[in-house]
Chains A and B, each alone.
Chain A
Amino acid sequence: MSVTQLNLKEEKKPAQTAQVVTFNPSPATKPFGTRLLQNGRQMMAQLLPPLITLVLIVLLWELVCSSPTSSLPAPSRVLEESWELIAHPFYVGQGIDQGMFWHIFASLQRVAIGYALAVVAGVALGVLVGQSQWAMRGLDPIFQVLRTVPPLAWLPLSLAAFRDGNPSAIFVIFITAIWPIIINTAVGIRNIPQDYQNVAKVLRLNGFEYFAKIMLPAAAPYIFTGLRIGIGLSWLAIVAAEMLIGGVGIGFFIWDAWNSSLISDIIVALIYVGVVGFFLDRFIAFIGRLVTRGTANA
């Protein structure tokens, strides 16, 4: 019994490899239409499941909120009530009466400044803490305490210091994003393999060369983990901070809509916040992939 089975297997094997050989050149020679169909099918396989889930969720929401006494609007009512808002994202009006795009843009600007400062300071401090035992012992306990302070708790203090809403919001972003950047950078620096350090020593790289050519690329995967967590937290914090400081910005827009009982507008704004946050995360991940190409798999 087993012998015949073994024979069968062996006969099958060459046939399989032969198939693989002919398989390779085939995509190039296939007609364009077939390739398009193949690609389209792959795209569908990727897009279909999330689309189906989305439709189901919207249907469920419509069902649950369809009664006239419901406290939250159903999707159809959101569309109806906030159509102005959805249709004219680039609308320019007086004061805080702006299209969604401008609110998001204002928030993104604050995040960009605060986050950029956090990246520079965070990577610098992370390198310091990762490199030096003394800096680690001196600074780490302070970082560990400060990083547990909720972002919004910094806001009154920064308002007192800056006496203006905008820099205060930027400071809140900065202080929120910096901790994961510092901590991950430090871990990355401390994990640089001894081999790379030996290579640097044999080559007698000076401090700056070591920093630029060994340290940063070796720690890059860790640093980008920190950067990704940081951007997520920044986006979380900006909405809360803007609710309190007022002015143009997605956070205050939501708060203002609540005060005017425009629940549908709030829902539109939340969708915007979610989508923008998603793209921010993907954007940092994309840059990370570009920069750390080849680093992850040694």
Chain B
Amino acid sequence: MAQPYLSLEFIDKTFERNGTRSEVLKQISLGVDKGEFISIIGHSGCGKSTVLNIIAGLIDATSGAVFLDGKHVDAPGPERAVVFQNHSLLPWLTVYENIDLAVSKVFRGKKSKAERHAWVMHNLDLVQMAHAKDKRPAEISGGMKQRVGIARALSMEPKVLLLDEPFGALDALTRAHLQDAVMEIHARLGNTMIMITHDVDEAVLLSDRIVMMTNGPAAKIGEILDVPIARPRNRIELASDRTYLKCREAVLKFLYERHRFVEAA
């Protein structure tokens, strides 16, 4: 049996604080194929961000293991680039310098200086931010910052791109623009992407499969939904597409009927 490109095997996570143990994740197992777009959806506090951080290596799993491309993963690294929820650009660097920091580190000795410059500009072009290359993060809008955050992650040429609620802090219109941008990049580069979200429409629009998590404590993968919609996808056409609506309904039923979040008033 062929091993999937990225696999999570029996991940458990317990946090211990002031002597009280809280079980966050229980027996999370998931296989992701190369080039696949996976969304992980669940109510807030279900530990979906913890899953992403474990894949990124920023948090250690209590037990279980993550394998990427046949190798065991236990520390952060640029082959699992993260697009952080609040962009996390360094405010004292310009847009160009922020990406150059990543490119210089990852491609030192592998690309010449001119090639590195071209690669930075190429990634800025991908997210249509080349025009703002000399601006500082404080001088550009939230959506633009997140574009730069995506460019920085892409510039590391990651095997897996991890997106941690990348559009959560953006307004609906900007969010739609960025979703389209991510879809386009995924179509062009064929990256493997894992996205954390709590937006049902976003999950269905972007994903090949949607991983639905039960509520914590001890959250598990409740269900995995295939989204058999052909790409390229168009949000306007999909609005009345039967498969789209059925997928949407399935996720909504999971989240609001079978696994209602009781504490959410």
Which residues on A are within 8 Å of B, measured CB to CB?
A: 193, 195-196, 198-199, 201-205, 209, 213-214, 217-218, 220, 292-295, 297-298
Interface centre among B76, B91, B137 (most CB of A within 10 A): B91
A179 to B: closest C-beta gap in Å: 27
User: B90-125: contact bitstring with A at CB < 8 Å (1 yes, 0 no)?
Assistant: 111000000001100110000000000000000000
- Give the 8 A-B CB pairs with smallest separation, nearest first: A195-B88, A298-B91, A201-B76, A217-B92, A295-B92, A294-B136, A202-B76, A203-B105
A202–B79 alpha-carbon span in the complex (Å)? 9
Residues of B in contact with A, size category: 20 to 34
* Across-interface contacts of A295 in B (CB, < 8 A): 91-92
A148–B84 alpha-carbon span in the complex (Å)? 43
| Cross-interface CB contact of A196 among B58, B77, B90, cutoff 8 Å | B90
**Is A214 within 8 A of B90, CB to CB?**
yes
**Is B91 within 8 A of A202, CB to CB?**
no
B221 CB-CB contact with A under 8 Å = no
B86 CB-CB contact with A under 8 Å = yes
* Across-interface contacts of B76 in A (CB, < 8 A): 198, 201-202, 204
* Across-interface contacts of B156 in A (CB, < 8 A): 202-203
* Across-interface contacts of A294 in B (CB, < 8 A): 91-92, 136, 138
B80 CB-CB contact with A under 8 Å = yes
A94 to B: closest C-beta gap in Å: 52
B56 CB-CB contact with A under 8 Å = yes
**Is A209 within 8 A of B92, CB to CB?**
no
**Is A203 within 8 A of B88, CB to CB?**
no
A201–B57 alpha-carbon span in the complex (Å)? 9
* Across-interface contacts of A203 in B (CB, < 8 A): 78, 101-102, 105-106, 156
A289–B2 alpha-carbon span in the complex (Å)? 58
B168 to A: closest C-beta gap in Å: 14
| Cross-interface CB contact of A202 among B77, B86, B92, B136, cutoff 8 Å | B77
Which residues on B are within 8 Å of A, measured CB to CB?
A: 56-58, 75-78, 80-82, 84, 86, 88, 90-92, 101-102, 105-106, 136-138, 156
* Across-interface contacts of B88 in A (CB, < 8 A): 193, 195-196, 198-199
**Is A205 within 8 A of B105, CB to CB?**
yes
* Across-interface contacts of B101 in A (CB, < 8 A): 203, 213
Interface centre among A203, A209, A218, A295 (most CB of B within 10 A): A203
* Across-interface contacts of B136 in A (CB, < 8 A): 294
Given A202-B81, A203-B78, A203-B101: A293 touches B90 (CB 8 Å cut-off): no
**Is B90 within 8 A of A217, CB to CB?**
yes
| Cross-interface CB contact of A198 among B58, B92, B105, cutoff 8 Å | B58
B149 to A: closest C-beta gap in Å: 10
* Across-interface contacts of B105 in A (CB, < 8 A): 203-205, 209
Given A217-B92, A294-B92: A204 touches B78 (CB 8 Å cut-off): yes
Q: A294-B92, A297-B91 are in contact. List 20 more A-B contacts (CB 8 A).
A: A195-B84, A198-B76, A198-B84, A199-B88, A201-B75, A202-B58, A202-B77, A202-B78, A202-B80, A203-B78, A203-B106, A203-B156, A209-B105, A213-B90, A214-B90, A294-B91, A294-B136, A295-B91, A295-B92, A298-B91
Residue of A nearest to B138 (CB): A297
A288–B84 alpha-carbon span in the complex (Å)? 29
| Cross-interface CB contact of B92 among A193, A199, A204, A292, cutoff 8 Å | A292
* Across-interface contacts of B78 in A (CB, < 8 A): 202-204
B97 to A: closest C-beta gap in Å: 10
B158 to A: closest C-beta gap in Å: 9
Interface centre among B56, B58, B88, B102 (most CB of A within 10 A): B88
B71 to A: closest C-beta gap in Å: 15
**Is A199 within 8 A of B58, CB to CB?**
no
A84–B259 alpha-carbon span in the complex (Å)? 90
A77 to B: closest C-beta gap in Å: 53
| Cross-interface CB contact of A199 among B80, B90, B106, B138, cutoff 8 Å | B90
B210 to A: closest C-beta gap in Å: 25
* Across-interface contacts of B137 in A (CB, < 8 A): 298
Residue of B nearest to A296 (CB): B91
Residue of B nearest to A221 (CB): B92
A214–B105 alpha-carbon span in the complex (Å)? 13
* Across-interface contacts of A198 in B (CB, < 8 A): 58, 76, 82, 84, 88
A191–B156 alpha-carbon span in the complex (Å)? 27
**Is A298 within 8 A of B81, CB to CB?**
no
Complex A-B: 18 CB contacts under 8 Å: A196-B90, A198-B82, A201-B75, A201-B76, A202-B56, A202-B76, A202-B77, A203-B101, A203-B156, A205-B105, A213-B101, A218-B90, A220-B92, A292-B92, A293-B92, A294-B92, A298-B91, A298-B137
A202–B56 alpha-carbon span in the complex (Å)? 8
A214–B98 alpha-carbon span in the complex (Å)? 11
A293–B105 alpha-carbon span in the complex (Å)? 24
B92 to A: closest C-beta gap in Å: 4
